[in-house]
Amino acid sequence: MSVMNMIQALNSAHKVMFERDPTTVVLGEDVGYFGGVFRVTEGLQRDYGKQRCFDAPISENGIVAVAVGMAAYGLKPIAEIQFADYIYPGFDQIVSEAARMRYRSAGDWSLPMVIRSPYGGGIFGGQTHSQSPEALFAHIAGIKTVIPSNPYDAKGLLIAAIEDPDPVVFFEPKRIYNGPFDGYYERPVTPWAKHPAAEVPDGHYTVPLGKAAVAREGEEVTILAYGTMVHVALATAEANGIDAEVIDLRSIVPVDIEAIETSVRKTGRCVVFHEATRTAGFGAELAALVQERCFYHLEAPVARVTGWDTPYPHSMEWAYFPGPVRLGLALKKTLED
């Protein structure tokens, strides 16, 4: 066991798989000599060579297309998109090729590939470095979408994603890349400081895709969250003295509907909490699932606390960010209904 932050845990996952499986390769912008803008791939090219970890041109469409071809021919590529905001040029390849290959070939071909990307706000990245586009990928049949909230899960989920026979989009919340933060206070954290966060096994292990975790047990209300918002939910419940059960989804596709149903049937109330914009966000799907599965157990309407329906603001980031004040108000209203 070693104490690691999320960057170190993800780096460890890469090294474990490079040692275990010679078909594992990494490609992307600045992932080689530089080790990635957040240093997730640091040391891979030095230790394993340029054929297994190499830089790509500034062409997200090309990066994903090359990964599709590699996966089709037996490799296990990990394609890094430098920021989730840059993923849109590669969207056609993800949707039209990666997501559909197994179905198009009637199961003869599969694409064991991972598309990793830092995502979300909290570091004053502005409009083009802070987006949360997970709902776009959750809508596409044929790909899995994973979002860890802590170093232990990040490593285990990434190894599971690499070993999965189908494409996985793996979003990494950069606000918590470098360690824990006080989830209650709406303030930035120093993005480059390396703070240890959790004990993580040094070797191989997996966290199953599609299996949620109970981050906090409670009886009064269920909070459904993932990524950075798990920490904000935990801090908000504690600060307000609310007996909330916090469910860390970890994967939004596949989503652990059994864990959600078990919790909401117990508490009778549900608040969905995510950073992405509200309209057509993944919270809408979660609210619909809870309504369908738990209608007769609900004591109040399902509430959503999300980002605003605006482009991500730079100067107003902490007004946009769905923080503890808005979540606390929603929890109190839900308990009063």
DSSP per-residue letters across 149-166: -SHHHHHHHHHHHHHSSS
Question: Domains of the chain, with CATH numbers?
Answer: 2-200 (3.40.50.970), 213-336 (3.40.50.920)
The pLDDT, as a whole number, for residue 188 is 46
d(C-alpha 82, C-alpha 87), whole Å: 8
Residue of 14, 129, 231, 274 marked catalytic = 129
Residue-wise pLDDT tens digits, 50-78? 999 999 999 999 999 999 999 999 999 99
pTM: 0.95
Which tokens belong to 181? 């933060």
Listed range (5-9, 11-15, 171-175, 183-187) with the worst mean pLDDT: 183-187
The pLDDT, as a whole number, for residue 124 is 76
Is residue 129 among the annotated active site residues?
yes
Q: Which of 9, 5, 8, 11 is nearest to 26 (CA)?
A: 11
Question: How many other CB atoms sit within 10 Å of the CB of residue 128?
Answer: 12
d(C-alpha 144, C-alpha 15), whole Å: 22
Rg, the chain, Cα only:
19
Give the chain's end-to-end CA distance (angstroms, integer): 46
